A and B are shown apart, each in its own frame.
Chain A
Amino acid sequence: MKKNSITLSDITKKDPFKVPEGYFESLTDSIVSNLPELIPEKTVQISLWNKMKPYIYMAAMFAGIALTIKVFVEISNQSVNTYVSKGLDLRSSTDIDDFYYYYENELAKIVYNDALDDLDEENY
């Protein structure tokens, strides 16, 4: 830095901004006297139904899923039982293939009807 250069430490640190006499006393009074009344926060009453709604919906959802699984399992068992009741032996790979073929067809008839039938045609 060149000689005689000015640095911040050469300048007297003072706030050069004046205020009118007695300003800060009047500022405080002015601020305080202009404060509006605070509106108390309204407490919202939540009904029992609204409180329980999420839990009830969740319980209904689980019940729905359980019911769907139950129906699905029952249908599957019926198919297996029907197949087994026909006296087929599932010991060879051909028998297993036959079983799945039968099982899928039965299931398709009950649950998906034509849609799964089409899929079956593509697979076999």
Chain B
Amino acid sequence: MNIYNEEEILKQLRSANPDLQRKAFEQIVLFYSEKIYRQIRRMVYSHDDANDLTQNTFLKAWLNVPLFRGEAKMSTWLYKIALNESITFLNKQHAHNSISLDDKDVFIIDKLESDEYFDGDDTQLKLQKAIATLPEKQKVVFNLRYYDEMPYDEMSKILDTSAGALKASYHHAAKKIEEFLNRY
């Protein structure tokens, strides 16, 4: 099994050799595709949508390889693209279906209940419903911290927000979720 050496891979990615660039990017896809997919899936819920958005994320990253200067970590760059893709998609979806923010959670839960790839029990479903009531950015912060256990410093680079503000945002989110779980 290949060991993922980001420094070496980034060097190859910035080379002028197209074959080397493609091979390096393949390593990146292999290493990050599942992480990116899971992050997107927790945002958009549907497997098919998450699949399309993951493909788009890597396609955008590939097309922007000449602009990637390696100042940020590859994971930070990919997460940023993935979050932008997800938020753009959700905004379009909400506008298209004329869903008000109040009805958003009902819409999400309907979607989850009918999703053959949702493997949660009632508590998990309730938790997802609670997460769905959060504002988009708070939802991202909560998911990254709760499921991925991402350090606030790393999250700060992805979301361009201070670590302190993210910590506060996570605690607000957790409090809202617990209130929701106890109310319903």
Contact = CB atoms under 8 A, between A and B. Distances in A.
A and B are interacting partners: yes
Nearest to B18: A38
B30 interface: yes
Interface stretch (A27-35, A56-64, A81-89, A101-109): A27-35
Interface of B: 16, 18, 21-22, 25-26, 29-30, 33-34, 37-38, 41-42, 45, 47, 51, 54-55, 58-59, 62-63, 65-66, 117-120, 123-125, 127-128, 146-147, 174, 177-178, 181-182
Contacts of B62: 35-36, 38
Contact of A27 (B33, B174, B178, B182): B33
Interface string A34-75: 111110110000000000000000000000000000000000
Nearest to B67: A41
Q: Is the interface of A mostly helix, strand, loop or mixed?
A: loop
B29 to A, nearest CB: 5
B124 A14 contact: yes
B128 A16 contact: yes
B22 to A, nearest CB: 7
Q: Is the interface of B mostly helix, strand, loop or mixed?
A: helix
Contacts of B128: 16
Contacts of B25: 32, 35
Contacts of B65: 38
Interface of A: 2, 5-8, 11-20, 24, 27-28, 30-32, 34-38, 40-41
Contacts of A15: 38, 42, 147
B54 A31 contact: yes
26 contacts: A6-B182, A8-B177, A11-B127, A11-B181, A14-B120, A15-B38, A16-B124, A17-B38, A17-B45, A17-B119, A20-B47, A24-B33, A24-B34, A27-B51, A28-B26, A28-B29, A28-B33, A31-B29, A31-B58, A31-B59, A32-B26, A35-B22, A35-B58, A38-B63, A38-B65, A41-B66
Given A24-B37, A28-B30, A30-B55, A19 B47 contact: yes
Nearest to B16: A40
A31 B146 CA distance: 28
A5 B54 contact: no
